[in-house]
Structure 1
Amino acid sequence: MTIVHIVIAKFKSEVTEEVKQKALDDVVALKHTIPEIQSASAGKTFTDRSKGFEYGWVVEVETKEHLSIYAKHPDHLDFVNKYRPLMDDLIAVDYEK
């Protein structure tokens, strides 16, 4: 089994493209410091169907327990504390595949 964690973000209008890209780079880099992460990817949408949600990332872990470990990991919490205030909104979806 694999747990897929998807986040779709809408940054505040004043946030620069450089900061947005740094957020994507930082979330993908978590796979190097959080052993439970099997894979991580992130990017900017190229479609006009996203209703203002321009950026998204996917993190895959093996189990729901690993998702909980990832969520509570200090490096993930640092990421959230740094970037969540820069977002107007986000959507998170978790599912098993």
Structure 2
Amino acid sequence: MTKVVHIVIVKFKPEVTEEVKQQAIRDVIALKEVIPEIINCSAGTTYTDRSKGYEHGWVVELEKEEHLPLYAEHPSHLDFVKQYKPLFADLIALDYVY
């Protein structure tokens, strides 16, 4: 069966506190509890200097391609985006199947 991986890496704006950054990580991981299409989720902070300023990222795994729009449009995901996207200086998202 084909699975979908949704990867997001972000640069927060300079004024965003470390506390808020860590809360974003906790909040994205918590999406697994409320969005049934998520089969796995991880998030964290880079520990190397290879990230070109992108300091936080998360990976969301979904069961099949049809689940990506369900995840993207889920009210809890939309709430997360509404709360945190204004705090990002930049964001890269990548989706692939395997």
TM range (shorter): over 0.9
2:8 is aligned to 7
Aligned-residue offset at 1:55: 0.2
Runs of 4+ in 1 over 2 A off after TM superposition: none
Q: State the Cα deviation string for residues 28-49 of structure 1 (Å, max 9, x = none).
A: 0000000000000000001101
Cα distance between partner residues in 2 of 1:23 and 1:56: 10
Cα distance between partner residues in 2 of 1:8 and 1:90: 6
Cα distance between partner residues in 2 of 1:64 and 1:75: 19
1:19 is aligned to 20
Cα distance between partner residues in 1 of 2:49 and 2:60: 24
How many matched pairs?
A: 97
% of aligned pairs identical?
Answer: 66
Amino acid at match of 1:65: E
TM-score (norm 2): 0.97
2:30 is aligned to 29
Unaligned runs of 5+ residues in structure 1 are none
Unaligned runs of 5+ residues in structure 2 are none
**Aligned to 1:57, what secondary structure does the other structure show?**
strand
Q: Over the residues paired in the alignment, what is the CA RMSD in angstroms?
A: 0.5
TM-score (norm 1): 0.98
Which aligned pairs between 1:30-69 and structure 2 lie closer than 5 A? 30-69=31-70
